[in-house]
């Protein structure tokens, strides 16, 4: 390194000053020249920071340069944006995101790292993660590894240093778009664009790839330090059969904490086998994709409703809507985030909810006797149903996620009461 010093004379003229007040100042400045040692050898010098090495190509023809983290390669998926400020690990392990790239609108992601306690399933199902700024350090006492290492081990692609605000605006204007993430320079933009325009998520059965393969018993409850409704426990135990369409662990924990004995069964489990177990109630869980793409699940729901109390969450809510004769439709860009206001029509209260779905039930298509119990205040869409004659209830959002933080948790107590009344009357 060579350093040269030089002296420069400058003058300073204050505002409204007279010539007599002008002062001459001497300022010492430095010119610094740095040598890397490669000039004489001609060797290439790498930049001290990561350069853009990935592309996101959307079906509208736009190409977004970014930096990669996690896995490498090429992946196609539907791009959706999530407005949650925290909880990226729960999002990564939510099976409902299968086939989708999740764009986080919160610019800073990764600052709390990851830990085993926040897993919502045994693996990551989403196609990739899109963020503005990747934290280079972690500061949470529960952190066990960085977000980048976590995604690499699970073969999930991620990109950062991309204009997530501009992409979000585009998704809000045009709706969810199919995109391709790639770190492969050998693939041209035109090839990636063709991939995005020949792949579709509508009408695809995504549930069968995320569901369990064999029935199992679930016993784990919410940890003592996180349990906020422990004073509402019931001495009575109810047996619940939970259909796994992509079920989240926290749904099972909350049911177990409310005194339920739970048997989790695959999405293709016959209704006749479920009824042979003589359950006190049946849960139809959340899951990914289009409810119209899984007619076998709709038929299962049809065979069960009216025979035992049932509770549907998210995909389960949509399947119940179809099983009752209603219709579902694809939303423009869906609901994804932890700050969606929902009004309880029955009592007028407002809940702050966590939501993750691209489809909704059309309330106008539902038969007489079905009650819309909850309404999304952002767009007026149906967020909950009840049909007392058929002993069923459902929510479009996730009561176990507790972003309010506890606004919706009592719905599990309502399900228990539904089973109790049925048990007492039989």
| 398 in active site | yes
The catalytic residue among 335, 336, 357, 398 is 398
Q: What is the DSSP letter of 108?
A: E
Under the banding of pLDDT at 50, 70 and 90, the label for residue 3 is very low
pLDDT at 227: 82
Task: Work out the average pLDDT over 244-249.
Answer: 98
Q: Which has the closest alpha carbon to 73: 156, 180, 175, 183?
A: 183
pLDDT at 136: 86
pLDDT at 224: 83
- Give the torsion sign (CA, 267, 273, 277, 281): positive
What are the pLDDT digits (tens) for 223-233? 888 887 665 55
The catalytic residue among 59, 78, 124, 314 is 314
Cβ neighbours, 10 Å, residue 329: 13
The catalytic residue among 59, 120, 351, 400 is 400
The answer, yes or no, to whether residue 36 has pLDDT greater than 90, is: no
CB-based contact 53:68 (threshold 8 Å): yes
CB-based contact 267:294 (threshold 8 Å): yes
38 or 208: which leads in pLDDT: 208
How much helix, strand and coil, in percent to the nearest 5, is found in the chain? 25, 35, 40
Q: What is the DSSP letter of 183?
A: -
pLDDT at 41: 52
The answer, yes or no, to whether residue 298 has pLDDT greater than 60, is: yes
Residues whose CB is less than 8 angstroms from the CB of residue 330 and which lie 6 or more positions away in sequence, other chains included: 202, 290, 358, 359
pLDDT over 90, % of the chain: 82
Task: Work out the average pLDDT over 397-406.
Answer: 90
Q: pTM score, two decimals? A: 0.88
What are the pLDDT digits (tens) for 313-372? 999 999 999 999 999 999 999 999 999 999 999 999 999 999 999 999 999 999 999 999
Q: Round the average pLDDT of the chain to a whole number and report it.
A: 90
pLDDT at 50: 87
- Give the torsion sign (CA, 102, 103, 105, 108): positive
Residues whose CB is less than 8 angstroms from the CB of residue 297 and which lie 6 or more positions away in sequence, other chains included: 207, 243, 245, 267, 291, 319
Cβ neighbours, 10 Å, residue 194: 14
| 120 in active site | no
């Amino acid at each position: 390194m060579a350093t040269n010093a030089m002296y420069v004379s400058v003058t300073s003229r204050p505002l409204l000053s007279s010539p007599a007040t002008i002062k001459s100042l001497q300022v010492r400045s430095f010119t610094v020249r740095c040598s890397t040692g490669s000039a004489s050898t001609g060797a290439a010098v790498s930049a001290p920071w990561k350069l853009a090495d990935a592309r996101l190509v959307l079906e509208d023809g736009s190409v977004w340069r970014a930096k990669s983290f996690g896995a490498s390669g090429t992946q196609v998926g539907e791009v959706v944006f999530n407005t949650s400020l925290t909880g990226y690990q729960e999002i990564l392990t939510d099976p409902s995101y299968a086939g989708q790239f999740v764009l986080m609108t919160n610019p800073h992601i990764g600052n709390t790292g990851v830990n085993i306690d926040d897993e919502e399933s045994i693996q990551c199902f989403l196609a990739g993660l899109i963020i503005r700024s990747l934290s280079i350090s972690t500061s949470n006492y529960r952190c066990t590894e960085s977000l980048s290492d976590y995604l690499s081990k699970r073969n999930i692609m991620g990109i950062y240093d991309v204009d997530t605000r501009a992409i979000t605006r585009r998704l809000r204007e045009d709706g969810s778009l199919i995109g391709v993430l790639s770190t492969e320079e050998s693939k041209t933009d035109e090839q990636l664009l063709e991939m995005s325009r020949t792949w579709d998520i509508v009408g695809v059965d995504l549930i069968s790839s995320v569901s369990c393969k064999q029935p199992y018993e679930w016993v784990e409850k919410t940890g003592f330090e996180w349990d906020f409704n422990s004073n509402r426990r019931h001495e009575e135990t109810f047996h619940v059969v939970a259909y796994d369409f992509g079920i989240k662990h926290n749904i099972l924990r909350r049911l177990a904490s409310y005194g339920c004995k739970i048997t989790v069964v695959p999405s293709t489990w016959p209704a006749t086998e479920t009824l042979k177990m003589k359950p006190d109630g049946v849960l139809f869980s959340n899951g990914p994709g289009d409810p119209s793409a899984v007619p076998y699940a709709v038929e299962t729901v049809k065979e069960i409703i009216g025979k035992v109390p049932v509770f549907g969450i998210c995909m389960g809510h949509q399947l119940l809507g179809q099983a009752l004769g209603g219709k579902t439709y694809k939303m423009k860009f869906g609901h994804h985030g932890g700050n969606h206001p929902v009004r309880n029509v029955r009592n007028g209260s407002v809940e702050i909810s966590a939501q993750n779905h691209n489809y909704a039930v059309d309330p106008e298509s539902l038969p007489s006797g079905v009650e819309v119990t909850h309404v999304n205040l952002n767009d007026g869409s149906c967020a909950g149903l009840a049909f007392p004659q058929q002993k069923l209830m459902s929510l479009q959002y996730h009561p176990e996620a507790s972003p309010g933080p506890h606004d919706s948790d009592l719905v599990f107590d309502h399900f228990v009461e539904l089973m109790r009344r049925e048990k007492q009357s039989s």
